[in-house]
Chains A and B, each alone.
Chain A
Amino acid sequence: MQRKMDLLPQISFSILMALSLRPRHGYEIMKQAEEDSLGKVKMGPGALYTAIKQLAGEGLIEETDTGNKDRRRYYKLTKKGWEKLNAELEYYHNVVKIAKHRTAYENFGWQNV
């Protein structure tokens, strides 16, 4: 039997997406999330670290040493984080596929799909 998939909240998903490119610190994550969502996801610092705490607690992200001398902490995806991100992306890919199929059916009928 297939296990039920728990989708991540929007902010958590955006954080994983931002960290999929390279390790980042808090503000970089915020900026990347905003950029990835075309300005739609704008989180405050509290929301960011609440989500980071949750993601770190679930073992999806972890702190990493980048060798920088500043006070900022950098985060990266763990193996589990990568798996979760891929599962989420696959889910959204399927949703878009179904939605496109439905739109085509609505517009042109079954014969043309």
Chain B
Amino acid sequence: MSPARRFRIYRRLLNLYPAAFRREYGEQLLQTIADMVDDAPSPAERFAVWLRISLDFPLTVCKEHFQVIGDRMKAKKQQGVGRVTLISTALFLLPIIIVTINRLLMLSGPRRGVPTYYLIVTSAIFPLLAVALAGSTLLRLWRGNGAVRPSLRQAGPLVFILLASLVLLCWIISQDISYYNLTH
């Protein structure tokens, strides 16, 4: 009986590996498992073999997927977009993380954590920076019939960051004024 038929469950689990890896090494993985199981003389050793396979499987599935993501990002980085996508995403996620941690701190005790209102205002800088970064990169990469002059393309990041900072400053001031009005 072929290993693929013997280890039907494992063969299905192989689908969790990235397609390219599965195509290249799927059959060999099954064959190696069959060899390992056949070589284990006692039920206890067979159990040890399956334990090793069970521990190895999730780790290598994650590793292969990270590898695929890494390769994709490397390819995008060559086009000048990968790193920006990563940083922009991280900047967008940061306020959510900060507010969540702060909420947990506030729940754990009345004197811990900063009022969420202030946190949202101050952490708004991250999404704005992310927009600035993504916008400036798009501007830099845009190659529309010479519509954008090279000097403007180079100044793009600065323009976007300045605009973002200005919006943020206005927002903080307005929020501060309304907070002052509320408390006095």
Contacts and interface: CB of A to CB of B under 8 A. Distances in A.
A27 B27 contact: no
A43 B56 contact: yes
B52 A27 contact: no
Interface string B46-77: 00000011011101110110010000000000
A63 to B, nearest CB: 10
B36 interface: yes
A89 interface: no
A57 B154 CA distance: 38
A50 B27 CA distance: 14
For A26, A42, A45, the residue with the greatest tally of chain B CB atoms inside 10 Å of its CB is A45
A13 to B, nearest CB: 18
B53 A45 contact: yes
B133 to A, nearest CB: 32
Interface residues of B, number: 25
B31 to A, nearest CB: 6
Given A52-B25, A53-B25, A46 B61 contact: yes
A49 B61 contact: no
Interface string B26-45: 01110111011001000000
Decide if the interface of chain A is mainly helix, strand, loop or mixed. Answer: helix
A41 interface: no
Contact of B35 (A26, A46, A73): A26
Size bracket, chain A contacts: 10 to 19
Contacts of B55: 44
B28 A49 contact: yes
B21 interface: yes
Contacts of A46: 29, 53, 56-57, 59-61
10 contacts: A25-B31, A26-B32, A26-B35, A27-B32, A27-B36, A42-B52, A44-B55, A44-B59, A50-B64, A72-B31
Interface of A: 25-27, 30, 42-50, 52-53, 71-73
The 10 lowest CB-CB distance pairs between A and B, nearest first, are A44-B56, A46-B60, A27-B35, A26-B32, A49-B25, A45-B32, A46-B56, A27-B32, A45-B29, A50-B60
